[in-house]
Amino acid sequence: MVDVSVPEAHYEVTATCLQKAVPVLGEKPMAATMEEARQLVELSEQCSTLFVVSQNRRYNSGLAAFRELVATRLGGAGQLNAEFYRAPHFGGFREEMESPLLLDMAIHTFDAARYVTGADARSVACSEFNPPWSWYKGAASAVAEFEMTGGLRFSYQGSWCAEGFETSWDSAWRAVGPWGSALWDGAGNPTAEVRPDGGSSDAERVEAPAVAIPARGIAGSLADFVRSLRTGEAPMGECHDNIRSLAMVFAALESSRTGRRVAVGG
């Protein structure tokens, strides 16, 4: 089953399929609440049936190259920043949502941060707001700062009502590690300035070539899903992993609504 229903229907559709031992490739978010998401993960285990959430941004050669650059030329990342600024006029359900940016879009960037670094979120401080010119009913802008495993700090700034100088849909990124810094604008090839010897020499400018991937975006998700069905190998976005990205979203929402830093569950 390929589930492209509205978010509120994800739980019912997925649960029905899993109970009938039908593998599911679903759209994000996995479910409308963390409790529903946990129930679906448990159901996938009980029924021994594959459940995958399509995080199509992972199937991007530029993001894969950025990940490789961070690991091999920066010596890993201790600080990661992502900016997302767009001004889409969707109409429909997104413009009526209470938290459209965090609930419908930010998970792509949060999941990409996990993919790039291999780290998981421990806690978050977040605030969301709606600029006075916004055409969204709910908060279309947000700022979040995550403490990740390994001491990494990941910061996110975004808006869905930001006219002018728009970023890529894949965000604009900066990673800082012990040997240098890397940038990726979400569209071209990522670049880095590195001093592997600890700073005694001039910085070396590096442009990473795009990494070859079998298929891009949604086509990549579909291909990975089919490969998993044929081989039994876990694909990216498998529910046990994806729930960790979803947990970042709901923790950010809780932080924004309570005004305090909160732990990220899973």
With respect to residue 266, please indicate whether it lies within any of the assigned structural domains: no
Average the pLDDT over 32-55 and give the result: 95
Q: Do 201 and 100 fall within a single domain? A: yes
With respect to residue 229, please indicate whether it lies within any of the assigned structural domains: yes
Q: Do 197 and 221 fall within a single domain? A: no
Among 94-98, 194-198, 206-210, the least confident range: 194-198
121-175 pLDDT per residue, tens: 999 999 999 999 999 999 999 999 999 999 999 999 999 999 999 999 999 999 9
* DSSP letter assigned to residue 241: H
Q: Do 87 and 176 fall within a single domain? A: yes
CATH code of 251's domain: 3.40.50.720
Q: Do 256 and 163 fall within a single domain? A: no
Between 239-258 and 106-117, two packed helices, what is the crossing angle to 10 degrees? 120
Check residue 133 and give its pLDDT.
97
Average the pLDDT over 41-58 and give the result: 95
Distance CA 263, CA 142 (A): 18
Q: Do 23 and 77 fall within a single domain? A: no
C-alpha distances (whole Å) from 151 to each of 20, 70, 183, 216, 257 are 42, 16, 20, 31, 25
Q: Do 116 and 73 fall within a single domain? A: yes
Q: Do 31 and 88 fall within a single domain? A: no
Residue 201 clears pLDDT 70, i.e. is over it: no
With respect to residue 14, please indicate whether it lies within any of the assigned structural domains: yes
Distance CA 53, CA 191 (A): 30
Q: How is residue 212 written in tokens?
A: 């070859």
Instruction: Decide: 158 and 85 in contact? Cβ < 8 Å.
Output: yes
Check residue 215 and give its pLDDT.
82
Check residue 195 and give its pLDDT.
86
Q: Do 122 and 37 fall within a single domain? A: no
Instruction: Tell me which residue has tokens 């006075």.
Output: 132
77 exposed, middle or buried (CB, 10 Å; 0-12, 13-18, 19+)? buried
Check residue 76 and give its pLDDT.
95
With respect to residue 230, please indicate whether it lies within any of the assigned structural domains: yes
> Percent of the chain, pLDDT > 70?
98
Distance CA 136, CA 4 (A): 23
Q: Do 107 and 12 fall within a single domain? A: no
Check residue 178 and give its pLDDT.
94
Check residue 211 and give its pLDDT.
82
Q: Do 194 and 219 fall within a single domain? A: no
Domain boundary among 190, 207, 224: 207
pLDDT bracket for residue 8 (50, 70, 90): confident
Give the list of residues 6+ apart from residue 140 with CB closer than 8 angstroms, or none: 100, 101, 130, 131, 134, 159, 160, 161
Distance CA 9, CA 98 (A): 17
75-126 pLDDT per residue, tens: 999 999 999 999 999 998 889 989 999 988 999 999 999 999 999 999 999 9
With respect to residue 147, please indicate whether it lies within any of the assigned structural domains: yes
Q: Do 68 and 106 fall within a single domain? A: yes
Instruction: Decide: 207 and 198 in contact? Cβ < 8 Å.
Output: no
With respect to residue 129, please indicate whether it lies within any of the assigned structural domains: yes
CATH code of 200's domain: 3.30.360.10
Residue 257 clears pLDDT 80, i.e. is over it: yes
Q: Do 16 and 51 fall within a single domain? A: yes
Q: How many domains does the chain have?
A: 2
Check residue 212 and give its pLDDT.
83
Average the pLDDT over 181-209 and give the result: 86
Distance CA 140, CA 190 (A): 28
- Domain coverage including residue 46: 2-56+215-261
Among 70-84, 100-114, 174-188, 190-204, the least confident range: 190-204
Distance CA 86, CA 99 (A): 15
Give the list of residues 6+ apart from residue 21 with CB closer than 8 angstroms, or none: 47, 48, 49
